Homo-oligomer: A and B are copies of this chain.
Amino acid sequence: MAGRPVYHNALEAIAGINDGATVMIGGFAARGVPTRLVLALRDRAPKDLTIITNDTSGGWGGRVDCSLLVEARLVRKVIASWPVPASTAVVTPLEQQLRAGEIELEVVPQGTLAERIRAAGAGIGAFYTPTGVGTPFAEGKEVRSIDGQDFLLEYPLSAGFALIRGFRADTLGNLVYRKAARNFNPPMATAARVTIAEVDAVVPAGDLDPEAVVTPGIYVHRLLVPE
């Protein structure tokens, strides 16, 4: 094997994402979103998706983000920290579908979201976090006092697929990122059965600085790169 399979066609890269799939999608405020993969997923149009992503608020100056999957009515459930814009001036497709009872939403504090994803990738069965104690995010959760401080029990979040955005990959799938486009992509890479990374370029193994690799290739199963 020469390394991880490299795709130039985004629809081919997302083969296997079918109705009912759970899909993690990297990005924060439309930075670090795997744009081509998200657009291809819209075109493939599987139904009843569960989407795990930081934000689905849209409105980032026309940049592509996951809100377009909600708008295309492909999503049954969203798990996110920032599902709607702060402003109430616009009623987003997500809010419309929520009001109509057509979509489910789980709002998770951003750090808990990241840690639940990391836990799935790291084989942790559950963890106690101080975030959210005494708030609506504690509802229905086990509270445990440890050394006099209260914590909530949180469970891992895994997915069938993770669509992530890297900067460069090598042929083994090792990834580096660029600035704040890193965000949720590294933990998501670890937490899916199939991780698909959209990158600007694939370089020969050995061309990335081994000290600077952020996501080891073991976590990356397919690469999408421009022709």
A residues contacting B by CB (< 8 A) are 115, 119, 122-130, 144, 146-147, 149, 151, 155, 176-179, 209-212, 214
A210's closest neighbor in chain B, by CB?
Answer: B179
Residues of chain B lying within 8 A (CB to CB) of residue A128: 124-127
A178's closest neighbor in chain B, by CB?
Answer: B211
A146's closest neighbor in chain B, by CB?
Answer: B125
Q: Which residue of the partner chain, among B125, B146, B212, contacts A130 with CB atoms under 8 Å?
A: B125
For the complex, give the distance between the alpha carbons of A119 and B179 in Å.
26
Residues of chain B lying within 8 A (CB to CB) of residue A149: 125
User: Assembly of this chain: how many copies?
Assistant: 2
Contact check, A130 vs B126: say whether CB atoms are below 8 A apart. no
Residues of chain B lying within 8 A (CB to CB) of residue A210: 179
User: 7 A-B Cβ contacts within 8 A?
Assistant: A125-B127, A125-B128, A125-B130, A125-B144, A127-B128, A178-B211, A179-B210
A176's closest neighbor in chain B, by CB?
Answer: B211
Q: A119, A124, A209: which has the most chain B beta carbons within 10 Å?
A: A124
Q: Which residue of the partner chain, among B126, B151, B155, B177, contacts A211 with CB atoms under 8 Å?
A: B177
Q: A127, A130, A212, A214: which has the most chain B beta carbons within 10 Å?
A: A127
Q: Which residue of the partner chain, among B115, B124, B144, B209, contacts A212 with CB atoms under 8 Å?
A: B209
Contact check, B130 vs A127: say whether CB atoms are below 8 A apart. no
Shortest C-beta distance, A127 to chain B (Å), equals 4
For the complex, give the distance between the alpha carbons of A212 and B177 in Å.
10
Q: A125, A128, A176: which has the most chain B beta carbons within 10 Å?
A: A125
Residues of chain B lying within 8 A (CB to CB) of residue A125: 127-130, 144, 146-147, 149, 151
A177's closest neighbor in chain B, by CB?
Answer: B211
Residues of chain B lying within 8 A (CB to CB) of residue A176: 211
Contact check, A123 vs B127: say whether CB atoms are below 8 A apart. no
For the complex, give the distance between the alpha carbons of A12 and B84 in Å.
53
For the complex, give the distance between the alpha carbons of A147 and B123 in Å.
13
